[in-house]
Amino acid sequence: MLKHKVSSSTGKLGVTLVRGVVEGGNCLFHKIDQENDLGIDGIVELIRNEEPLNKQFAVQVKTGESYFDTAKQECVFPVDNHYAYWNGYPLSVYGIVVVPSLKKAFWVDIKRYFKGHPNCTVIRFSATEANTFNDGYFTSIFVPTIVKEVPDIPLKKALTLLRSHHEDELLLGMVVLFRRFCNKRETWDAFVEYFISHAADKIPGMLIYFFAHVPWHGDIWGFGEQLTEETRTYVRGKFASLGKTGLIKLLSMVDEENMIARGTIGQSVEAIVSSLPNCVTLLSEVLKDKTLPLFIREVAGIIFAIHKPQESIHFFQDMAENGSWYMAEMAAHIKESGELNPYM
């Protein structure tokens, strides 16, 4: 007896949903017939304001409850023997999981995932608002992400995303807040509150880079809306209220291998710390506090030496006596040159 498998209808429903979202955004969905399907269900061509964006990408759609882990709120996308095919495909490849019971779909950049998980057999990714694939999010989040633009999200929504426990949602909120609402006080209130309320290892380096836009430094690439002087003054006041505790947290975020050098998070930290009105006093307090880890005092010493090179020598010598070969070299350098410039 001839049978029409349920899985065949389910798969078609998924592709139909994806096609509907794409075409609902006035973009083109070029379906690949099943007999020609080697692991790609369709090619999407992006259109905006009735004009092509000259951007195409491939999609592979998986539909059904078996592709969604309810307990972990996670999509499970099998790779099987498609790794080499997708990885070598001439276009970007996006996997889309359609979950019928939720009436939702979620997307993942397959090639990007492969870079972090080489030779994986299964792609696992969280189902969040940042990668939801539906009519509303297609034009406001998905397309801007694809073409490397800032997603179009309202301020209130971006603030909510910043408080998310999902990394991709909070990063989305953080980027939108800074790139679209950099002169809103609500943005900086939320950023500083996030910094205060999270441990250093839970704070994205991106936030410190955004903070560094207030004092600025030579390796910041500025684009989009610029910070007004009124905003800078307001944020400097927020920074000044962080005190010694906030300073120690900033210093702890410096990369121990690269320390303070051009193009590092240390450069952003130094720019922020150096902009504090009581910078030298606070750094001196840290340097004198021998209960702190030696690394924290080393970083504080370097920034202190930028401002007060001669006064830093005795701090460096003290740390050298406590096992810091690095500070011994810094002390010798200052004695010879009379200054310390970590960016030369």
pLDDT category at 10 given cuts 50, 70, 90 is low
- Domain regions of the chain by residue span: 1-149
- Would the pLDDT of 297 be above 60? yes
CA atoms within 13 A on the CB side of 15: 21
User: Which tens digits make up the pLDDT trace of 214-269?
Assistant: 999 888 887 778 999 999 999 999 999 999 999 999 999 999 999 999 999 999 99
Rounded Cα–Cα distance for residues 21 and 3 (Å)? 30
Under 8 Å CB-to-CB from 334, ≥6 apart: which residues? 305, 309, 310, 312, 313, 316, 340
Tokens of 331: 């002390």
pTM of the model: 0.89
Residue 125 forms beta bridges with which residues? 75
Rounded Cα–Cα distance for residues 129 and 266 (Å)? 32
Is the sign of the CA dihedral 261, 265, 268, 272 positive or negative?
Answer: negative
Closest CA to 96 of 7, 14, 9, 2: 14
- Would the pLDDT of 34 be above 50? yes
Tokens of 277: 């009105």
Fold of 1-149: Trna Endonuclease; Chain: A, domain 1 (3.40.1350)
Residue 240: its pLDDT value, please? 93
